[in-house]
Amino acid sequence: MIPGTPPKISPSVLSADFSRLGEQINSIVAAGGEVLHLDVMDGHYVPNLTFGPLVVKAIRKMTDLELEAHLMISNPDKYLESFISAGADVVLVHPSTCESVADTLKAIKSLGSKAGLVVNPDEKLELVVPYLDQMDQLLIMSVFPGFGGQSFIPSVLNDLAQLRPLLEDNDVLVEIDGGINQQTIGSLNQIGIDRFVAGSAVFNASAPPGENYINLLALLNG
Ligand code: DX5
Ligand code: ZN
């Protein structure tokens, strides 16, 4: 947790209605949103396909919100420049997809973006330790990457307390992704997570995204 900074919700557009994406993003902006989470999937690293730099560029034109690109793709090094020039402010990569994790993080930073590593539920959080001084962000997956709407896996937080001092020493922001919704978010507010990704809990048919966003934030702060 970065001291003095209230936790944020990062809506994932994965569950948005792409036929009216601009309107949905505006609803988040009007509700006070600060960041958007963009789930990039290649049908190879994960068994689902979403979008690439062209859509990131289109979203960049729609909004000034901070854009974090979560790259669930093989060989991310090949595409870093495309995503960053398209407007990604933060690039999050899975270590197992990088030939050299240190080189990938260095490349992201030298292209002018913030850099982060993503840890899957079946991986150890401690695998990021050698890279903490190169990282701005740690994304803890609380579902297996690939699809929205899955159930939260609580055990992914087991080793967070142990890693906490190192994360703080290195000013690494902690984010969690998957299964964050009205039922789960309230119990996660005291454990020092800076950012909560929420896809299907924000973009759904029950209310406009901005309204869902405000309700989630209230549960987080309540
Ligand atoms: C899953 C993605 C998530 C997803 C979360 O691979 O990384 O960002 O959008 O969706 P929900 O919030 O519906 O679990
Ligand atoms: Zn994600």
- Is residue 217 within 8 Å of residue 9, measured between CB atoms? yes
Separation of CA 81 and ligand 1 centre (Å): 24
The answer to which of 4-8, 136-140, 214-218 has the lowest mean pLDDT is 4-8
- Confidence category of residue 190, pLDDT binned at 50, 70, 90: confident
- DSSP codes, 41-78: EBSSSSS-B---HHHHHHHHHH--SEEEEEEE-S-GGG
- Best residue among 9, 12, 91, 182 to mutate for probing ligand 1's pocket (most ligand atoms within 8 Å of CB) is 12
What is residue 93's three-state secondary structure? strand
CATH architecture of 8-221: Alpha-Beta Barrel (3.20)
Return the pLDDT at 1: 60
What tens digit of pLDDT does each residue of 73-97 get?
A: 999 999 999 999 999 999 999 999 9
| Position in ligand 1 atom list of the atom nearest CA 37 | 8
Residue 185: pLDDT over 70: yes
> Tokens in use for 110?
């030298």
Separation of CA 77 and ligand 1 centre (Å): 23
Residue 2: pLDDT over 80: no
CA–CA separation, 72 and 194 (whole Å): 21
By annotation, the residues acting in catalysis are 39, 177
| Position in ligand 1 atom list of the atom nearest CA 70 | 7
Single out the residue of 143, 96, 135, 140 nearest to residue 118, CA to CA: 140
| Position in ligand 1 atom list of the atom nearest CA 199 | 12
- Best residue among 39, 119, 142 to mutate for probing ligand 1's pocket (most ligand atoms within 8 Å of CB) is 39
% residues pLDDT > 90 (the chain): 95
- Is residue 215 within 8 Å of residue 32, measured between CB atoms? no
- Is residue 192 within 8 Å of residue 1, measured between CB atoms? yes
What tens digit of pLDDT does each residue of 35-54 get?
A: 999 999 999 999 999 999 99
Domain ranges of the chain: 8-221
Across the range 178-194, mean pLDDT stands at: 94
Residue 130: pLDDT over 80: yes
- Confidence category of residue 189, pLDDT binned at 50, 70, 90: confident
Return the pLDDT at 222: 79
- Is residue 36 within 8 Å of residue 21, measured between CB atoms? no
Residues with CB under 6 A from ligand 1: 12, 14-15, 37, 39, 70, 143, 145-146, 148-150, 177-180, 197-201
Atom 7 in ligand 1: residue holding the nearest Cα: 145
Return the pLDDT at 5: 80
Residue type (1 letter), 72: M
- Confidence category of residue 34, pLDDT binned at 50, 70, 90: very high
What residue spans of the chain are helical by DSSP H? Answer: 21-30, 53-62, 80-86, 101-110, 160-169, 209-221
| Helices first, then strands: H and E counts in the chain | 6, 8
- Confidence category of residue 153, pLDDT binned at 50, 70, 90: very high
Q: What is the dihedral of CA 156, 220, 55, 73, to 10 degrees?
A: 0
% residues pLDDT > 70 (the chain): 98
| Position in ligand 1 atom list of the atom nearest CA 144 | 6
- Confidence category of residue 217, pLDDT binned at 50, 70, 90: very high
Separation of CA 197 and ligand 2 centre (Å): 7
- Is residue 206 within 8 Å of residue 213, measured between CB atoms? no
Separation of CA 133 and ligand 2 centre (Å): 23
